[in-house]
Structure 1
Amino acid sequence: MKKIKSYLRSPLLVLGLLSGCLVSCHDQLKEEVFSFVGAINYWKTEADATAGVLGAYESFLNNNYFGRFYFELTELPTDFTTINRNDTFQQLDRWDLLANHPFVLQVWNIMYEQIGRANGVIQNVPKITMDATKQKSIIAEAKFIRAFDFFNIVRLWGAAPMPLQVVEGVSTTQLPRTSVDSLYIQIEKDLKEAEADLPATRTGAEVGRVTSGAAKTLLAWVYLTQKKWPLASAKAQEVIAGNQYRLLPKFDDVFSVSNKNNAETIFSIQFDGTTRGHALSSFSNAGGTNNPYCFQGVNVYSVDPKSDIWTKWDRNEYRRNFTVYSSVRGKNGNMITVDPNFPSFGKYRCPAEIGINNSFVNPPVLRYPDALLIFAEAEAQAKGGPTAAAYDAINQVRRRAYNLPSNTPDATVDLKNLSLQAFTDAVIEERGYEFVMECHRIYDLLRTGTFKTKIQSIGKAAPRGSIYPIPQSELDANTRIGINGQNPGW
């Protein structure tokens, strides 16, 4: 019995138990109604295949993922964000945590749970007699989801277990850490296959599910992270040249609850706020029930007042004044002044929210500016300096940030005549401003090797490790990793 309890602490076993059963659900991307069905009796029909892949999407809505805790893992340790909460939160803010930190384990678990669900689809849907095009598309969705999770895992934890099949027993949960290079090979393979079989667009009830454009954009980001500059530039250019996406004229329209899944959105997480909602709107605003942006601004996530987005960002920029603030006019007309030590994020505005965990703003995962800024950086690196096309890509984003027409050159904001290093620095800065609270910042700091210096520059201590610790429960349960397999510094 003691041995069984030990194995049940392993998330790899948990994902096996979950993927040995499949989530049966109805109503596209609203998986709140589900039941567990034995796998041996499942995977018979096209409806089973659809329900299976929707079950994989459902993990995104979990409180441990885009519902909340993924933001705490990716935002709190950065230079942009701070928190005025108990020490469990502040450990992440200080980057001074233990390997048994509950949020680290919860995010690790949900990613491996989702990989298990995706593996169930990839392994079983090919056995179903159904429309061939739809079959390929569903498998491709699962490959995109699996690749996205492995991409997050490899960036946050480095080498990690890489299950590619449904885990059916304790013996198969004892997986060693797969090397970073091998993880990236698998990620690229999944995304190339997904790109080939996913549809370019979605309509009706399928809106919100991934497309070939999402696979291309994520693959470009994967190439960028590995410094595969020509491949990143070419793949991002495919997205741009496809003319399927565009910058909206006004930055705030991108995040409007009345304009979800707009022309700028490549992939976002679909919350309806009633059956499934998230905490970003209330948790990143201040002012209690008088705040017009949310149900009750409780200011959990705050702007670090020493960060560039507070001290350096041009206060005349339209995008800045939508994204961060120190005062806001309340519902009753009075001005709410925010604690100067904890300015607020304003991006996730949900006036009709019915509770602090019921926001139905769709958190973006990939937007058209991703393609433009990936292209700008990779093109400049590949060519040894910024080209006219690279300048145009970043300047489109900058113009829109000032509420100017994005395709019309404007000498007041356009970049020009920069060295390769200065241009690269400008792209990283622009990415920081554009993607505030979109789970991008930590990855940009890690891939550019500036994580430690950046957080030290605002007064945080030097990190104990450069990536997250493997959760202690995984080390305890998985003998193929063991206590000696922890990441350096932890």
Structure 2
Amino acid sequence: MKRNIYIQLFCLVLIMIGTTGCEKLLEEEPKATISLGELNPVLLDQTIIGVYEPLTRSRGRLWESRLGLYLELMSDYADGGASQKASSDYTNLLMSPNSLEPTWVCIYEAVGKANLLLANLDANTSLSDDQKSRAYGEAYFIRALCYYNIVRIWGKVPLRLKPIVNSDDVDLPLSEIPEIYDAVIKDLKIAEVNLPAQVPSANAGRATSGAAKVMLADVYLTLKDYTNARDKAKEVIDNKATYGYDLEPSLATLYSPVLATNKEDVFSLKFSQVVGAGSFWASYWADSKAKLAGYSVTGNKFGGIMSKAPIIAGWDNNDLRKQFSLYSTYIINGVVTNAEVEANNYDLRMGKYKDPNAPADTGNGNDFYFYRYADALLIFAEAENKLNGPVNAYAAINQVRRRAYGVSLAVSSTVADLPAGLSQLQFDELVLRERAYEFIGECKRWFDMVRTDKVAEILTGVRAAIPTPARKPIPTKFVFGIPDIELQNNSLAR
């Protein structure tokens, strides 16, 4: 069974009491001071793990749950069917209030815990500089990870960079988007110089300097700072041995529900086959025959994939990623059986995440990737092409494509490699397409559509192709409304 760093110290809830920022973040209470007490090496490590904890909390409604489901269903190729229509047709995005309040609560709790740890590290005089250095790196990394996603999901938000220690600290105005991105970049620059290059597999899921660099590259790409995006991605690619990175040849290994990590894993949320310590992801996408079909212990049928969406219709059937990720039939007791679909909405299921041996739908062991080595390669390819055209960008994207076709990563392939002589615009379009194929089910497509300013263009093409165009209207805004819990308690956020 895969080891999960987030459940090995279940008692950290007691250690971190007073820092459960979002549930208690905005309560109007008499002034009170909170503290972790004097940190020693053991308590420090437990406290760091406590900072990660909200990100993988069962029912936390983060990436492996509600937020991840919403983001994936907002992609051009996905539809939520009868049960999740409000996500795929952007109703939930446009309405206020929406159902992302639990997500807001949980992600700001992680921010609050990071802030409290940073404040205690600043005040601490007993720990060595080496002990404090890594702790600083992890706290800054987690805060950056949270705010990078917060700003893309909600836009202007309160930028809380200090612990909330009393009710006077609750009111905070919304920060402008550039200010939030500046804070994310600042945190990641601190993290990359304080984090180790690698961690033992027993500590898989802890941040590394390579993870900070890949996230920095991604942030720069979102900001259209292509020079820094390319250079930071290249730094990782050129030093992949230092970080222990490479493409993992086997997709089954890459998405295994039982392995602790693999060489492509840059940063992921770790889940285990333990009730309440796993991911919902495999169960969300499977149907009622999930167990018999070999996909999950149970199936919620919360959405599927539209074969007529242009990005899916153009996906080569020989691409192993398509074979691994999408299905319309399965074999039960030796009989080929049609998967359960909603013909007017979607006709394919997504099977990228498989864990039929999970003990419950809260116990799927599939990890959730924020970053893989493939991210570094595709970020480099996109940014280099934007700067100089595709000549020096082919090698990076072709590695990803060769893995997708099961051929040698180091040898040119007429089957896998992109054709020579592409224009800068053609190459750019193919990189975006490649990202859709590589990261399907990993909650990146919606963000890619927004950052490339292609939401309307892509959805116009989808509407022309699918049976029910109303399922994919073009939204009038691209960020969610701030939840009522913040508006009711933070007068400066209204």
Q: With structure 2 as the length reference, what TM-score do the two structures score?
A: 0.87
Give deviations 1:163-203, integer Å, cap 9, x for gaps.
00001222222111111111111111100100000000101
Kindly indicate whether the alpha-carbon contact (under 8 Å) linking 1:43 and 1:125 is maintained by their aligned counterparts in 2. Answer: no
1:174 counterpart residue number: 171
How many residues were matched structurally? 451
TM-superposed deviation, 1:464: 3.2
Tell whether 2:426 aligns with 1:422: yes
Give deviations 1:231-251, integer Å, cap 9, x for gaps.
110100011111231111223
SS at match of 1:290: helix
Tell whether 2:225 aligns with 1:228: yes
* Gap regions ≥5 residues in structure 2: 19-33, 463-468
SS at match of 1:281: helix
Give deviations 1:413-444, integer Å, cap 9, x for gaps.
21121111111111010000000111111110
Counterpart Cα distance in 1 of 2:400 and 2:4:
36
Higher RCO (CA 8 Å, separation ≥ 6 residues): 2
Letter in 1 for 2:54: S
1:216-255 correspondence to structure 2 within 5 Å = 216-243=213-240, 244-255=244-255
| Stretch deviating more after TM superposition (150-159 or 471-480) | 471-480
Letter in 2 for 1:73: Y
Counterpart Cα distance in 1 of 2:36 and 2:210:
35
Letter in 2 for 1:130: L
Counterpart Cα distance in 2 of 1:230 and 1:289:
48
Kindly indicate whether the alpha-carbon contact (under 8 Å) linking 1:245 and 1:265 is maintained by their aligned counterparts in 2. Answer: yes
Letter in 1 for 2:255: F
**Percent identity between the aligned chains?**
31
Tell whether 2:62 aligns with 1:65: yes
Counterpart Cα distance in 1 of 2:233 and 2:441:
22
1:335 counterpart residue number: 336
Kindly indicate whether the alpha-carbon contact (under 8 Å) linking 1:83 and 1:300 is maintained by their aligned counterparts in 2. Answer: yes
1:432 counterpart residue number: 436
Counterpart Cα distance in 2 of 1:118 and 1:41:
12
Kindly indicate whether the alpha-carbon contact (under 8 Å) linking 1:119 and 1:165 is maintained by their aligned counterparts in 2. Answer: yes
TM-superposed deviation, 1:456: 3.9
1:80 counterpart residue number: 77
| Stretch deviating more after TM superposition (443-452 or 245-254) | 245-254
1:196 counterpart residue number: 193
> Which residue among 377, 391, 394 is the counterpart of 1:391?
394
Kindly indicate whether the alpha-carbon contact (under 8 Å) linking 2:310 and 2:461 is maintained by their aligned counterparts in 1. Answer: no
TM-superposed deviation, 1:315: 1.2
* Gap regions ≥5 residues in structure 1: 1-25, 483-490
Counterpart Cα distance in 2 of 1:108 and 1:277:
20
> Which residue among 30, 50, 54 is the counterpart of 2:45?
50
1:74-473 correspondence to structure 2 within 5 Å = 74-86=71-83, 89-97=84-92, 98-102=95-99, 104-128=100-124, 129-203=126-200, 205-243=202-240, 244-274=244-274, 275-286=276-287, 287-330=289-332, 332-338=333-339, 339=341, 340=343, 341-383=346-388, 385-388=389-392, 390-415=393-418, 416-458=420-462, 459=469, 460-473=472-485
Kindly indicate whether the alpha-carbon contact (under 8 Å) linking 1:284 and 1:301 is maintained by their aligned counterparts in 2. Answer: yes
Give deviations 1:62-120, integer Å, cap 9, x for gaps.
2311340121231121112211243xx32121101321122x21222211111001111
Kindly indicate whether the alpha-carbon contact (under 8 Å) linking 1:225 and 1:447 is maintained by their aligned counterparts in 2. Answer: yes
Counterpart Cα distance in 2 of 1:40 and 1:413:
56
The 3 A distance-change label for structure 1 pair 260 and 336 is: farther
The 3 A distance-change label for structure 1 pair 92 and 266 is: same
Letter in 1 for 2:491: T
| Stretch deviating more after TM superposition (344-353 or 294-303) | 294-303
SS at match of 2:174: coil
Counterpart Cα distance in 1 of 2:13 and 2:103:
23
RMSD across aligned C-alpha pairs, in angstroms? 1.9
Kindly indicate whether the alpha-carbon contact (under 8 Å) linking 1:255 and 1:362 is maintained by their aligned counterparts in 2. Answer: yes
The 3 A distance-change label for structure 1 pair 163 and 150 is: same
Counterpart Cα distance in 1 of 2:101 and 2:254:
32
Counterpart Cα distance in 1 of 2:73 and 2:368:
17
TM-superposed deviation, 1:279: 0.9
SS at match of 2:259: coil
TM-superposed deviation, 1:41: 5.7
Counterpart Cα distance in 2 of 1:301 and 1:407:
37
| Stretch deviating more after TM superposition (106-115 or 217-226) | 106-115
TM-superposed deviation, 1:27: 8.2
Give deviations 1:332-382, integer Å, cap 9, x for gaps.
222221225341111111131111221011111100000000000001112
| Stretch deviating more after TM superposition (473-482 or 429-438) | 473-482
Counterpart Cα distance in 1 of 2:39 and 2:203:
21
